[in-house]
Amino acid sequence: MRERLHYFVQAEGGPLEEFSCAVDAERAGEAHAGRGVPAVVYMMMGDAEQGWDEPELLAAHGLVA
């Protein structure tokens, strides 16, 4: 598998969600916060087979611990 940029949202207490673009991930993070659930949006380069680079935080929505 070829290494590429991945976008993720992690809502408090929820599963990790993957998105194909930063805009969609940002909207999902905002939607979680709108429901009162804090969420972080980040991106990472890599893939499951070859490994991952360090995540880069793009946004935090709500009161994230």
- The token pair at 18 is 């993957």
In a domain, 4, yes or no: no
Residue 36's nearest CA partner among 16, 13, 56 is 13
In a domain, 58, yes or no: yes
Please compute the mean of the pLDDT values over residues 10-15 and round it to a whole number. 94
Q: Bigger pLDDT: 41 or 47?
A: 41
At 1 the pLDDT is 61
At 50 the pLDDT is 84
Q: 14 pairs with which residues across the strands?
A: none
In a domain, 29, yes or no: yes
Number of domains the chain is built from: 1
pTM exceeds 0.75, yes or no? yes
Quickly state the pLDDT bin for 3 (edges 50, 70, 90).
confident
pLDDT of 64 above 90: no
In a domain, 13, yes or no: no
Integer angstrom CA distances of residue 15 from 1, 9, 27, 39: 23, 9, 16, 11
Residue numbers of the domain that contains 62 = 22-65
pLDDT of 28 above 90: yes
